[in-house]
Amino acid sequence: MTCKLAASCIVMLAVATTHLLPAAEPIQRPMQVTSTEHVSLAPGGTVRFDKSFGDLYVEGWDQSQVEMVLIKTFENYESPKNPAERLERVKFITKQSSPNEVEIGTTIPSRSFFHHPFGGKGPVNVRYELRVPRDTHLVIHHGGGNILIGDVRGSIEATNREGDIVLMLPDPGPYSIDARSKMGTVTSDFDGKAHVRHFIGESFSGAGADSPRKIFLRVGFGGITIKEVSSEGLF
């Protein structure tokens, strides 16, 4: 067999083999939808955030309004044929009973709908990003996922069923701190008393009991971290 014939055979074999191999699957990227809403809030007002499930980030800013960003990601390619319709079912619900108070919730089709931050099988990941006036009073009741709060100078109440709470306070206080985790650790940069309960949970009480700035934190399964940071070092 001549070299030319051998080369032709090799090319033909390569072509034939190519037809036998399955075509490469295109890379499927998660479908992501982001929505942003704004609502006005008077200085020193209250933001109540409830019925949330996923990671939550809250940052203080100089505006006299609340900015709400909802990031929804669909990562299950075998479930519904039209994921956009399912993502549309998750949206903010806002209620403003007065200029001083805003209630923010989220429509939740079912718990199995969401991808749990700690290993659940739902098809949708949810991430919340809120910007609130710095002197806002925060009241947060979170169903699961991590909570990060920074540069908010008003009183803060935050509860979380599963996940960590990280609180970055922009000045030395004083603060009245009451933090407790049923199954996790509690650490604080501020003076106070730490307690261990039944070897699996911890609590921390801050020294500024008479301070008007109250910090109340509760976690079922997860840790609590309270940091003192300068405003320049936030986010």
Specify the pairing of strand 165-169 against strand 192-197: unpaired
Phi/psi of residue 11, each to 5°? -65, -45
pLDDT at residue 87, as a whole number: 75
pLDDT of the residue at 88: 76
Q: What pLDDT sits at residue 212?
A: 84
Number of other CB atoms surrounding residue 179 within 10 Å: 25
Token output for 177: 């701190």
Q: pLDDT value at position 99?
A: 94
pLDDT of 81 reads 62
- DSSP lists the bridge partners of residue 227 as 168
Token pair 């519904």 is found at 80
Tokens of 119: 């290993």
Cβ atoms of residues 51 and 142 within 8 Å: no
| pTM reported for the whole predicted model | 0.78
pLDDT at 11: 42
Q: What is the pLDDT of residue 10?
A: 41
SS3 4: helix
**pLDDT under 70 in the chain at which residues?**
1-30, 76-83, 108-122, 198-199, 207, 209, 231-235
pLDDT tens-digit map of 131-150: 999 999 999 999 889 999 99
d(CA 221, CA 199): 14
Predicted pLDDT of residue 185: 93
